[in-house]
Amino acid sequence: MTAEPADPDDPEEALREVRSRFIASFPGQCDSIAALLGDDADAARLEGAHFIVHRLAGLAGLIGFPSVSERATDLESLLTTGGPPDLALARDLLGGIRENYAVDLIEPPDWVESAAVAEGLAILIVEDDRDQLALLEIQLQRAGHRTMSVSRGDEAIAAARERRPAIVLLDVELPGLDGHSVCRMMKTDPDLAGIPVVLLSTRASIDARLSGLMLGADDYLCKPFDARELLLRIENLRRRASAAAPATSAVTPGGLLAFDAFAAVATAALAAEPAALALVRAAADRTAQLGVTLADEGRRRDIFGRYDDTHLVWLMPGLDGRAATARARAALELARESGVGDATAGIAAGAAGSKIAALVAQADDALTEARCRRETASLQADRRAAEAPAVAGTLVLADDDPEVTRVVDGYMRAAGFDTVLAFDGATALQAVNERHPDVLVLDLMMPAMSGFDVLMRLQALPNKPRVVVLSAQGREDDVTRAFDLGADDYVVKPFSPQELRARILRLMK
């Protein structure tokens, strides 16, 4: 299954992109929450868990995971009761979130059908029954995965060697070589042994299962099986593969510094002079190659590192923000032309003595804006409007969740608004003062300055914009307080972007 090109004029494309990223990151988010809710959880850990759960509750329902959003809201309420939460109950609710995810995953909204699969796994299905093959392909593709298939065991090895799938779903009863033989051959081949294999069979006896596992299979599913179980097992294999990866050394594949080593070297460089930092996002399988390309184009004094599977960091000592943005844009354009693929960068400029963590956070904001604007690179300090104001008016969108921002930005630009993005309360207030927008869409829980603080500051303005609060906080006290502080409308997450657009257009009349 190949992805269709994204239509920049289709606001639902933003929903589909966000949904794909949500599916790819959901297991890791749940694992993070579980770690923070351990028996040793202190106030700081509970606050971290609440932050993740709050964003999960607000985003999941928007992109077709309503029961995940509902259960996440229950967990958020437990974590904000005021006293020490019941950790056992919190972990039970987290288990419910995982279960509801599996249910929602196989019942997607209608707009998901044309979703571009950008971040799912490549899965090879070896199945000779056409009906079962068709059903598997539908279930996996709806979950965001890319599928390929062969119908004979003797074709499976060549297909695995040529296509390099992330996982192989292997029927046991096959023409030619049976599934056991194929599994044995894969697990004894040094080039293929690392690919997880899931055996699928109607043989449910313990002897049959043990036989398959002893051959090296990574999992065993008995037919007929529930699609939710299959998808969860695939996610488990994904996590297991990540956990089994070798410990990070000082230098990662492609000659990039591991982030700890990068931070140490970059901190020393920043102590001596100003510098600009670029946070570069690319596909996970292209970061090493992209690192080589960037290093070839960079100066000898530049420092390159790997932030995580999909992000690189690049410190450019002695350059200001605009010069660094130009260099990053040129390097990424060259990388695209050389076949590395699309990549996007956010750039932050720092004075001598700046902290790496602060620069990375600023560059992350710029990266989010670059992705929303579909630009190759964006400078954190450069908050210029992209074009002249559109006919419908100017809208400041203030939300610290980049996925929610991406969706709302797409819908409002499609409605003719010139949008200005802000990822914290202080920046939102600055944008209102500088751009004098017609509408402010305002989240309540943001860093630097809360939405309530922004509303209080806006009361002093002679010509304040129309304000639509967009928040996961739906308690009566919060709604009443927002209206008392001058909000014109209040929309509770999860929300319909079409309804939000209609409400904003109504306020403009």
What does the pLDDT look like over 470-496, one tens digit per residue? Answer: 988 778 888 889 899 999 999 988 888
What does each of the 509 residues of the chain score in pLDDT, given as a tens digit? 333 444 445 667 777 778 877 887 788 788 888 888 888 788 878 888 888 888 888 888 888 899 999 999 899 889 887 778 889 999 999 999 988 888 888 778 877 754 444 457 889 999 988 878 888 888 888 778 888 999 998 899 999 988 889 899 999 888 888 888 898 888 877 778 888 999 888 876 777 777 777 777 888 888 777 777 788 788 777 766 655 544 434 444 445 777 776 887 788 888 888 999 999 998 887 888 888 888 877 777 888 888 887 889 999 999 988 889 989 998 998 888 888 778 999 999 988 888 887 888 888 888 888 887 788 899 875 444 343 433 568 899 998 887 788 888 888 888 888 888 888 888 899 999 988 999 999 999 887 788 999 999 998 888 889 999 998 877 888 888 989 999 999 998 888 888 888 888 888 87
Please spell the DSSP secondary structure of 10-64, one letter per residue: -THHHHHHHHHHHHHHHHHHHHHHHHHTSTT--HHHHHHHHHHHHHHHHHHGGGT
pLDDT attached to residue 143: 79
CA–CA separation, 148 and 1 (whole Å): 8
**What is the predicted pLDDT for the residue at 119?**
57
Structure confidence at residue 94 (pLDDT):
92
Kindly state the tokens that stand for 278: 């670029």
Taking the CA atoms of 176, 178, 181 and 186 in sequence, report the sign of the dihedral they define: positive
- pLDDT score of 191: 76
pLDDT of residue 56: 86
The verdict on domain 120-243 having CATH code 3.40.50.2300 is yes
Q: Where in the chain are the domains?
A: 12-112, 120-243, 251-379, 393-508
**What's the CATH code, domain 251-379?**
3.30.70.270
CATH architecture of 393-508: 3-Layer(aba) Sandwich (3.40)
pLDDT at 240: 67
pLDDT at residue 1, as a whole number:
36
Q: Are 420 and 397 in contact (CB under 8 A)?
A: yes
* CB of 380 closer than 8 Å to CB of 365: yes
Distance from C-alpha of 173 to C-alpha of 176, rounded to nearest angstrom = 10
Residue 463: strand, helix, or coil: coil
CATH number of 12-112, picked from 1.10.1740, 1.10.287, 1.20.120, 1.10.10: 1.20.120
Helices 87-105 and 227-243 meet at what angle, rounded to 10? Answer: 120
Residue partners of 439: CB distance under 8 A and separation at least 6? 393, 394, 395, 396, 417, 465, 466, 467, 468, 504, 507, 508
Residues whose CB is less than 8 angstroms from the CB of residue 270 and which lie 6 or more positions away in sequence, other chains included: 315, 317, 350, 352, 353, 354, 356
Separation of alpha carbons 28 and 50, rounded Å: 15
Q: Count CB neighbours of 314 within 10 A.
A: 28
**Residue 458: which of 474, 442, 472 has the closest Cα?**
442
Q: Do domains 120-243 and 393-508 have the same CATH topology?
A: yes
- Residue-level pLDDT at 387: 39
Q: How far is CA 361 from CA 211, 365, 489, in A?
A: 50, 7, 31
CA distance 175 to 459: 75
Question: Could you give the CA distance from residue 103 to residue 229 in angstroms, rounded to a whole number?
Answer: 10
For the chain, what's the residue count? 509
